[in-house]
Amino acid sequence: MWILFPVSLFLSAVLLFCIQPMAAKVLLPLYGGTPAVWIICMLFFQLLLLVAYGYAWLLAHLPRARIWPFVHGLMALLTFFALPVMFQPTPSLHMPEWGILWSLFHHLGLPLLIIGASAPLLQFAYSRTEEKHAADPYFLYVASNIGSLLALLSYPWLIERFLGLKTQFQLWTAGYVVYLVLLACLLLGWKYQPRESIVKKQSHYTDISWWIFLSFIPCSLMLGVTFYITTDVAPTPLFWVLPLSLYLLSFIVTFSRSPLIPHRWVVRNTVFVLIFPVLGFIFGESQILAWQMVLFNLVGFFMLALLCHGELIRRRPGPEGLTLFYFCIALGGVLAGIFNGLMAPRLFSQPYEYPLLIVLSLLVLPIKRFQREWWMPFTVLIILLLSHYLAGISSLQILKRWHIGEIAALLVATIWQQSARSISLAFAILFIFLFVPWFKHSDVLLQQRNFYGIKQVIAKGNVHALMSQTTIHGFQLLNNPESLKGTLAYYGAVEPVIDVFKQQNEVLKTTIMGLGAGILVCQFRNTDRLSLIEIDSQVLHIAKNPNYFTYLSFCPSEQTLINDDGRLALAKMKNHSQDLIVVDAFSSDAIPVHLLTREAFTLYRQKMTEDGAILVNISNRHLELLPVLTASGRANDLIVLELVHKGDKRLGQFDSQWVLLTLNEPLAFQLINRFGWRFVADNSTYLWTDDYSNLIPLLKW
């Protein structure tokens, strides 16, 4: 019955990699929908795997063959006290990283420890049988990774799409009970003996260092590419699981007995494949489509993961070192999680960890032509310096517009391959010119990053702009009174709506979720009362600083600044107290899903007055959000109106798309007849709830 080993490993992997996006999805609305939630969740699971692999290593070194099954069986029995698994965390917004880690450990720690120990422990157990392939049990790791990959791909396309979170956790609990039954069969129904043919060999520190390094690089790359693509599209399981699935697929390919993609082919072609993501860096997210950005980066990441994992399997030990080998792999993953999740946001003001890890991964290339190896990176440096100098000449702006110098440098680095060190250095030089603000011909006044994202204040001429990635979240024309009318950027579209409310209310009580630079504040009077909710304290400090923006200090309304999540802050307000609720809490082009669910709009309706309205900015390059708001509005018996506004560029206005939801029929007719709003009668709707949401049908491919 050797088949029980791969079946148990397969099921344990399915359970482990299903609960990752499930838990992250529960946590996401509690922490403002930021992509960093997934990174911290990954850190927890890496820490848990490290503990689980260490636990497996200890069991494997117990003196008698029957002791470890007894100990593991006892630990498995203890997990029954944690069933059924229901994840109901409490947010900690002041220390979000530690709040997430504690919630996951407290609710899920023990069952996941038993599951996490399966890969090394069951492979070790198989090596202690008399089965045909017991001397080389690494092939069982493929069954584990296939289960992981299947779970991850199934989650966004099947599980998330058709099942709510409550049902997901119920099915997960049932699957865990089945796994415990299989585990009991393996522990009680098999006689394990130490294999006399195995000669114990001490692993050298050099080998251990390589195992850790070769597992750290692809794991850190996976986290880096995940943060990079989710920050500008959406923090959603679809974009969480794609990089992680490719990461696991690289394990499956490289750990197979006959790899589908030979390692020699990977070594020869890795640098050429990197052309695609680097071209994405060169042209920027604003010049390429969302699917192109995602595809380019995922292809490059997959190739680098194949490279590192191919070198890892080439250096693997025999069965006697199996548990230590997997412990080192887990340790590399933990170090990657700590670096990407805790250190990088504090060390780097931009997602520099991603290109940095690309540079480090190129050092793994087994290319050792050391003769004149520094000529190539020196040539790349000269090309980029010359291009940077010439781009400052007005008659040669075409060099900057078409990125001639960067493309030439990339081609040199790709074609003229001398050694791993020279290739790595050449790409490092190129990335410095691409990512360091000084080389971008831009005047960056401030660049900050924290758990909630990346912010820049940029000065160009007489304009200050607040940027998140490639999205402008407000700007101000210095020494220009027109700038203080509050109609710049996306907000010229809603001026007529706010004017109507000001005519009807002597004191207009308004809640605005998402502060940005504070432009919208200037559309209100000194008698109006504004509650400005912003989850990111750095954005609050930027908006209040008159050296950057003066909207909050010069515009006269009564303002209350609230540093909290929009839904959590609004829930504390009195019912039917707000005349107008404005939802504009987007980070870059990513959306906080929890602000658009049925339950969210139930809360908004509860807090607004009978004649009030909800205004939502759904301007987005990557997602068509109107069907979601239409469904949530109808579920709450609200009238749904839409305005697609063509901004007047001469007045500093952007094209924008807004949705207004209200119970006030006269207001709706007035907006339709006088100001160009349209009643939404579309049948294409997608209802999101706190228990269910799916992004795939909404993507603008």
Highest mean pLDDT: which range of 104-118, 208-222, 464-478, 638-652: 208-222
Place of tokens 């110098």: 405
Structural domain of residue 263, as residue ranges? 4-193+204-347
pLDDT attached to residue 640: 96
291 and 173 inside one domain: yes
Minimum mean pLDDT range among 123-132, 159-168, 400-409: 123-132
Q: What is the Cα–Cα distance from 337 to 14, expressed in whole angstroms?
A: 21
335 and 411 inside one domain: no
DSSP state of 664: -
- 125 is a domain residue: yes
Report CA-CA distances (Å) from 421 to 356, 369, 428, 583.
14, 10, 10, 50
3-state secondary structure of 46: helix
Last residue of a domain, one of 304, 332, 347: 347
Maximum Cα interatomic distance, the chain, rounded to a whole number of Å: 90
pLDDT attached to residue 189: 65
* Residues 404-433, mean pLDDT to the nearest whole number: 85
Per-residue pLDDT for 197 more than 50?
no
Cα dihedral angle (421, 425, 426, 431), rounded to 10 degrees? 140
Hey, what are 190's tokens? 């098999």
Last residue of a domain, one of 383, 412, 440: 440
CB 685 within 8 A of CB 630: yes
* Residues 96-101, mean pLDDT to the nearest whole number: 88
Count of C-beta atoms within a 10 Å radius of residue 90 = 9
* Residues 497-507, mean pLDDT to the nearest whole number: 93
Per-residue pLDDT for 589 more than 50?
no
Task: Give the whole-number percent of the chain exceeding pLDDT 90.
Answer: 34
61 and 8 inside one domain: yes
Per-residue pLDDT for 38 more than 90?
no
CB 311 within 8 A of CB 329: no
Read off the pLDDT band of 241 (50, 70, 90).
confident
How confident is the model over 622-670, as pLDDT tens digits? 788 999 999 999 999 999 999 999 888 887 888 899 999 999 999 999 9
CATH code of 537's domain: 3.40.50.150
Number of helices (H) and strands (E) in the chain: give both, helices first: 27, 12
Report CA-CA distances (Å) from 22 to 59, 82, 240, 497, 607.
30, 17, 11, 39, 30
For the chain, give the number of residues: 701
Hey, what are 642's tokens? 């839409």
414 and 509 inside one domain: no
Read off the pLDDT band of 124 (50, 70, 90).
confident
Strands 509-513 and 578-583: parallel
* Residues 432-442, mean pLDDT to the nearest whole number: 72
When comparing pLDDT for 54 and 530, which is higher?
Answer: 530
Burial label, 479 (beta-carbon count in 10 A; 0-12, 13-18, 19+): exposed
When comparing pLDDT for 525 and 201, which is higher?
Answer: 525
* Residues 317-324, mean pLDDT to the nearest whole number: 77
Q: What is the DSSP string of 230-247?
A: HHHS--SHHHHHHHHHHH
Per-residue pLDDT for 591 more than 90?
no
pLDDT attached to residue 193: 59
496 and 640 inside one domain: yes
3-state secondary structure of 608: strand
pLDDT attached to residue 202: 57
Per-residue pLDDT for 596 more than 60?
yes
Last residue of a domain, one of 331, 347, 363: 347
Task: Give the whole-number percent of the chain exceeding pLDDT 70.
Answer: 89
pLDDT attached to residue 394: 58
Burial label, 64 (beta-carbon count in 10 A; 0-12, 13-18, 19+): exposed
Count of domains for the chain: 3
Q: What is the DSSP string of 236-280?
A: SHHHHHHHHHHHHHHHHHHHSSS-SS-HHHHHHHHHHHTHHHHHH
**Mean pLDDT of the chain, nearest integer:** 85
Q: What is the Cα–Cα distance from 274 to 271, expressed in whole angstroms?
A: 5
664 and 530 inside one domain: yes
When comparing pLDDT for 137 and 217, which is higher?
Answer: 217
Q: How far is CA 482 from the centre of its chain?
A: 38
Report CA-CA distances (Å) from 664 to 501, 600, 640.
12, 19, 11
How confident is the model over 666-691, as pLDDT tens digits? 999 999 999 999 999 888 788 999 88
Strands 529-533 and 558-562: parallel
530 and 573 inside one domain: yes
Per-residue pLDDT for 279 more than 60?
yes
| Consecutive H or E run containing 455 | strand 453-460
CATH code of 128's domain: 1.20.1250.20
32 and 75 inside one domain: yes
pLDDT attached to residue 199: 47
Read off the pLDDT band of 251 (50, 70, 90).
confident
**β-strand partners of 644:** 657
Per-residue pLDDT for 195 more than 50?
no
